[in-house]
Amino acid sequence: IGNLLALVVLHRTRMESQRLMFHSLVAGLVWNDLIGIVLTSPVTVASYINGLQMPGGEHLCRFNGFIMICFGLSTPLIVSAMAIERFLFVKYTFFYTKHCAPGAARFVMIVIWGFVLFFGLLPMFGFGNYVLQYPRTWCFLDFRTTNPVHAAYGYMYSGLNLLLVIVMVVCNLVVVVTLARVRDYRRKYSSSSLNSVLIGDGVMDDSQRQQAILRRRKQKDMELQMIVVMCAITTIFAVCWVPLMV
């Protein structure tokens, strides 16, 4: 339901958000999570209906493990891409303006899913192993294996996820600190005295000044919304995802 509501909100704001790579990545994240739920939930439900026995045997277990790995890795990759996008936006504006158009989000999603599919298919070729997990309704990596090759794959998966969480935290901290400084600078130097000078010199009339104030206020609100979204997502990942990887 949450993903469907998010899609409705994104659809209603599509006209004003089409120019931003961040909103394209948010849409990609929502679709990614929605598809992941649709593909993983039926297996778990069927296993409960079947008396905590996964129907389909090893083949369905491998498929379920593959889907769990793919979406368990694609989501933090997309969130990390969102954090890096915000980092580039506030720290390297010229580079961002030149290279980070909304169309770049599609390229990022293709690269992410190309890597995720490659990584998820490795256990099919003997590097890593998918096994049933308690209460025998879903499959995931075998973290208790004594096989060094399978264990190496598990460590790679956990290490990559932990690295992505670190990237999220660092990028978001830089963004928050930078925007806080920018907002403080604006409060000091975008004062009413500057507006009065512009009006007095004939640079702006009153209506133009009001439009400029509204644009500035809208930009501030958008920056604040993005900060809140990224901080909330990062906190959820750090609290819920890191313990599983450790």
Look at residue 159 and tell me whether its pLDDT is greater than 50.
yes
pLDDT winner (highest mean) among 96-110, 144-158, 217-231: 144-158
Higher pLDDT residue, 13 or 23?
Answer: 23
Question: 2-245 architecture in CATH?
Answer: Up-down Bundle (1.20)
Are residues 67 and 116 in contact, defined by beta-carbon separation less than 8 angstroms?
A: no
> Any idea where the domains of the chain sit in the sequence?
2-245
Read off φ and ψ for residue 7, nearest 5 degrees: -65, -40
Three-state DSSP at 180 gives helix
Lowest mean pLDDT among 25-29, 103-107, 214-218: 214-218
pLDDT at 109: 94
Look at residue 195 and tell me whether its pLDDT is greater than 60.
no
Higher pLDDT residue, 150 or 8?
Answer: 150
pLDDT at 197: 47
Look at residue 240 and tell me whether its pLDDT is greater than 60.
yes
Per residue in 177-193, pLDDT (tens digit) is: 888 787 777 666 655 54
The whole-angstrom distance between residue 50's C-alpha and the CA centroid of its chain comes to 35
Look at residue 101 and tell me whether its pLDDT is greater than 70.
yes
Going by C-alpha positions, the residue among 80, 43, 97, 100 that lies closest to residue 169 is 80
Look at residue 125 and tell me whether its pLDDT is greater than 70.
yes
Burial 20-35 (b: 16+ CB within 10 A, else e): bbbbbbbbbbbbbbee
Higher pLDDT residue, 238 or 25?
Answer: 25
Look at residue 61 and tell me whether its pLDDT is greater than 90.
yes
Look at residue 14 and tell me whether its pLDDT is greater than 90.
no
CA dihedral 115, 79, 34, 62 (to 10 degrees): 40
pLDDT at 186: 67
